[in-house]
């Protein structure tokens, strides 16, 4: 006889699965935990992005200010006493051009006989956030090409028989560079338009980009300098000349809010950038998202020695900071610099920007001291 045994399995309560209520509670708890976690991660990400933005902003400020400070320390060095260079003036002359932000057209004052080592342009830069920015143009000699004897000279050219290698290396001369030619107390500033390395002749043709080469002007040019006593003299055996040439760097600082209005940039520009075409879109951006650039000057006028002078049109007359006299750019001895930047917010376009300003004060050593060994003047 076969016996059939029925096996029954007990069903425990834990084997019944989750109820709908339990599942909803679990999902709610999980969602809350995940939400808190994601919020924390978002805060960390925003904090990290903020740190990166502030770091980039400060880096841009620091690099821009470092360059300005370095250049300011050289302002006026190698220039003659008075820290000015003669430019074309009188009958047949016209205003020279100065570099500036896109859209500007800076020129010298009519019949101004010289250009100073410091040429301020207060409030003539672009207006950003309702504030007019400044422009500054400075001159200094290039120590790699300083007081080189000239072996031959005409009204539009100068030849160097010995001395620097004008073809290669740090002494290389290229069109667009500026040269100061001087004899005794007479100087003139010219722009190189052509270089013949085989004959070592530099040409300064008319119609240069800065309008410095004006051979038809009554004074302040190369023909006028040549005509002054003593007559030109050069001795090959000793490589000595009574007419010398020095390379000059004209460095301009300003803000460019035209190329990219949403991200204004600090521009450093050497000379014009072209030997024949005046172009205010040239220059090198040395700081991004810079929204303010300001220069103020301390002067030594032998009287009150005013500080923090803007050098605007009023200051240059008898009613300004140097009253009852007019302030002069030749009296400038120190410059106060203010540079303001904002964060770029590249990853968070609608986020509020961070702002920071950097202040510095630089003594213009080249303006305060005279080379006691320079006895040719």
| Segment 42-89, tens digit of pLDDT | 665 565 666 677 778 888 899 999 999 999 999 999 999 889 999 999
**89 phi, psi to nearest 5 deg:** -150, 170
Highest-scoring range by mean pLDDT, 13-17, 183-187, 343-347: 183-187
| Residue 348 pLDDT greater than 80, yes or no | no
User: CA-CA distance, 298 to 331, in Å (whole number)?
Assistant: 8
> Among candidates 272, 243, 281, 239, which has minimal Cα distance to 102?
281
Highest-scoring range by mean pLDDT, 11-15, 160-164, 253-257, 350-354: 253-257
**245 phi, psi to nearest 5 deg:** -130, 140
Using 50, 70 and 90 to split pLDDT, how confident is the model at 337?
Answer: very high
Q: What is the pLDDT of residues 113-124, one digit of tens each?
A: 999 999 999 999
Using 50, 70 and 90 to split pLDDT, how confident is the model at 365?
Answer: confident
**26 phi, psi to nearest 5 deg:** -65, -40
| Residue 140 pLDDT greater than 60, yes or no | yes
| Helix, strand, or coil (residue 215) | coil
| 360 contacts: CB under 8 Å, gap ≥ 6 | 65, 68, 69, 336, 337, 339
Domain ranges of the chain: 53-368
The larger pLDDT score, comparing residue 245 to residue 19, is at: 245
Residue 8 is predicted with a pLDDT of 56
Q: How many residues does the chain have?
A: 377
Q: What is the pLDDT of residues 264-313, one digit of tens each?
A: 999 999 999 888 899 999 899 999 999 999 999 999 988 899 999 999 99
Residue 372 is predicted with a pLDDT of 44
| Residue 377 pLDDT greater than 50, yes or no | no
CA of residue 346 relative to chain centroid, distance: 25
| Residue 13 pLDDT greater than 60, yes or no | no
User: CA-CA distance, 95 to 163, in Å (whole number)?
Assistant: 33
Which DSSP helix (H) or strand (E) runs through 41? helix 20-72
Lookup: tokens for 180:
């100061």
Q: What is the mean pLDDT of the chain?
A: 88
Radius of gyration of the chain (CA): 33
| Residue 354 pLDDT greater than 70, yes or no | yes
Lookup: tokens for 303:
């009287």
Lookup: tokens for 362:
């630089």
Residue 24 is predicted with a pLDDT of 81
């Amino acid at each position: 006889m076969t016996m059939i045994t029925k096996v029954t399995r007990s069903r425990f309560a834990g084997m019944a699965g989750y109820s709908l209520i339990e599942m909803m509670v679990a999902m709610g708890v999980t969602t809350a935990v995940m939400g808190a976690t994601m919020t924390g991660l978002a805060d960390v990400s925003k904090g990290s992005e903020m740190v990166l933005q502030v770091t980039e902003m400060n880096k841009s400020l620091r690099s821009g200010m470092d360059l300005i400070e370095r250049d300011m320390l050289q302002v006026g060095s190698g220039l003659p006493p008075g820290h000015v260079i003669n430019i074309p003036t009188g009958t047949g002359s016209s205003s020279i051009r100065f570099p500036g932000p896109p859209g500007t057209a800076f020129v010298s004052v009519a019949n101004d006989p010289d250009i100073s080592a410091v040429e301020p342009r207060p409030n003539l830069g672009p207006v950003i956030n309702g504030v007019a920015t400044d422009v500054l143009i400075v001159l200094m000699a290039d120590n790699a090409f300083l007081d080189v004897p000239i072996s031959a000279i005409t009204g539009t050219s100068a030849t160097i028989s010995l001395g620097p290698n004008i073809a290669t290396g740090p002494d290389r001369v290229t069109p667009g560079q500026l040269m100061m030619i001087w004899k005794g107390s007479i100087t003139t500033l010219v722009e190189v338009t052509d270089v013949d390395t085989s004959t070592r002749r530099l040409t300064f043709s008319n119609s240069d980009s800065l309008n410095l080469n004006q051979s038809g002007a009554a004074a302040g040019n190369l023909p006028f300098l040549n005509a002054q006593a003593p007559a030109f003299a050069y001795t090959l055996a000793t490589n000595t000349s009574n007419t010398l040439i020095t390379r000059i760097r004209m460095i301009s600082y300003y803000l460019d809010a035209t190329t990219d209005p949403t991200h204004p940039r600090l521009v450093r520009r050497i000379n014009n950038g072209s030997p024949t075409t005046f172009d205010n879109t040239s220059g090198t951006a040395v700081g991004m998202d810079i929204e303010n650039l300001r220069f103020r000057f301390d002067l030594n006028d032998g009287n009150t020695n005013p500080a923090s002078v803007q050098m605007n049109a009023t200051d240059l007359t008898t009613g300004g900071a140097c009253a009852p006299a007019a302030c002069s750019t030749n009296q400038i001895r120190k410059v106060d610099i203010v540079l303001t930047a904002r964060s770029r917010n590249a990853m968070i376009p609608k986020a509020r920007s961070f702002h920071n300003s950097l202040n510095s004060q630089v003594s213009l050593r080249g303006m305060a001291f005279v080379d006691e060994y320079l006895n040719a003047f």
